[in-house]
Amino acid sequence: MSEALRSFALAQSISDGWAMQYAAFAAIESAAHVSSPEAIQAFASWVDRHEKTPQKDQRPVWTLWLGELFAAATRARAWEGLDALLAAHADRLAGSHFFDDGAIGAAVARVAAAEGRAAGFAAARGILPRVLRLPAAPGADSAPDSALSGIIAAFARDCQDPGLLRDVAGLLTPELAAEAPQQATLLRTLAQVDEARNPQAVLARMDPDIALWVRRLRDLPEPAEAPRRRRTRSG
């Protein structure tokens, strides 16, 4: 992280746009793992420069890094810096989607692991509405709410705290997104399995599709098929 930020500062001092870009990308990737509001500031500085170039009418390359940007903001809970960047370039965000939406969910779990359940909940409460407020392009096949399942799946994979799973499920209301209640059900079901003394017994009573989702997340074995009875000839 520190090396990427130093590289960015050096590139910025000599107005080397390409070096700024690569250093900003490296910093924002690292910031998804290690809290660094400075990385978000560096990324925002590069975006401002990028948008002022003659190629500004082309699709901005920086929107391809929205997943990493939102993950970094989640890890640091750097909402002010994220909001300022998005507000400054709101016209460039329509139709954007996340190439690494799972990084956002993983960042929520990482916050909880490092700082506790309350911090993890605050991270989820801060980032989910911001993801889903991104504007969708008219007629686009992908919209911000399509990232929700990837975010929740990655969070569920990396979080094994039943209490936090339920807390985050409480955020997933219809007002957030039409798909949100379904994702809330998955998290509550996963919490039930995680705290069960006999997870297989709980899974056996579940909807098969949900049970399969849980088994894959937790690497639990599939139920063994009952052996078929042999037919015997009579007489």
Nearest one of 225, 201, 226, 128 to 169, comparing CA atoms: 128
Residue-level pLDDT at 228: 57
Examine the pLDDT at 94 and tell me if it is beyond 90. Answer: no
Mean pLDDT of 141-169: 87
Distance CA 108, CA 28 (A): 16
**Region 28-48 average pLDDT:** 94
* pLDDT at 56 (0 to 100): 52
- Based on the fold, state whether residues 41 and 141 are members of the same structural domain: yes
If one counts the domains in the chain, the total is 2
Say which residue, 198 or 95, is predicted with more confidence: 198
* pLDDT above 90 (res 122): yes
Residue 139: predicted pLDDT = 43
Q: Which runs of consecutive H residues, i.e. helices, occur in 32-179?
A: 37-51, 66-76, 79-88, 102-115, 117-132, 148-158, 162-169
Query: Do 202 and 142 share a structural domain?
Result: no
Note the pLDDT of residue 50.
86
Cβ-Cβ contacts under 8 Å for 12 (sequence gap 6 or more):
20, 45
Helix and strand counts by DSSP (H, E) for the chain: 12, 0
What sign for the dihedral angle of Cα 36, 37, 40, 41? negative
For 124-148, write each residue's pLDDT tens digit.
Answer: 999 999 998 886 544 444 455 578 9
Mean pLDDT of the 68-87 span: 96
Tokens linked to 171 = 């955020």
In a domain, 116, yes or no: yes
- pLDDT value at position 233? 55
In a domain? residue 235: no
Q: Is residue 205 part of a domain?
A: yes
User: Are residue 51 and residue 106 in the same domain, yes or no?
Assistant: yes
Alpha-carbon distance of 44 to 42, in angstroms, equals 5
- What is the extent of the structural domain holding 185? 160-221
* 121 and 55 inside one domain: yes
Instruction: Looking at the structure, tell me whether residues 64 and 180 fall in a common domain.
Output: no
CA dihedral 147, 149, 150, 154 (to 10 degrees): 140
Q: Is residue 231 part of a domain?
A: no
Q: Which of 168, 195, 196, 199 is nearest to 184 (CA)?
A: 168
Supply the pLDDT for residue 224: 67
What DSSP character marks residue 196? -
- Domain boundary residue among 99, 114, 147? 147
User: Of 97, 123, 147, which residue sits at a domain end?
Assistant: 147
Here the tokens at position 164 are: 């936090």
> Is residue 23 situated within a structural domain?
yes
Contacts of residue 184, defined as CB under 8 A and 6 or more positions apart, other chains included, come to: 169, 170, 172, 173
Of 147, 169, 187, which marks where a domain is finished? 147
Residue (of 183, 174, 77, 91) closest to 130 by Cα position: 77
| Cα-to-chain-centroid distance, residue 37 | 18
Report residue 229's pLDDT band, with 50, 70 and 90 as the boundaries: low
| Predicted local distance difference test score (pLDDT) of residue 138 | 43
Which range has the worst mean pLDDT, 3-7, 76-80, 131-135, 195-199?
131-135
Percent of the chain with pLDDT over 70: 86
Q: Read off the pLDDT of each residue in 33-56 and give the average, rounded to a whole number.
A: 88
Tell me: do 28 and 143 sit in the same domain: yes
**Is residue 134 located within the same domain as residue 173?**
no
The per-residue pLDDT for 91 is: 83
**91 and 167 both lie in a single domain:** no
For position 9, what pLDDT does the model report?
Answer: 92
- pLDDT at residue 145, rounded to an integer: 58
6 and 104 in a single domain? The answer is yes
pTM: 0.86
Residue 211 lies in a domain: yes
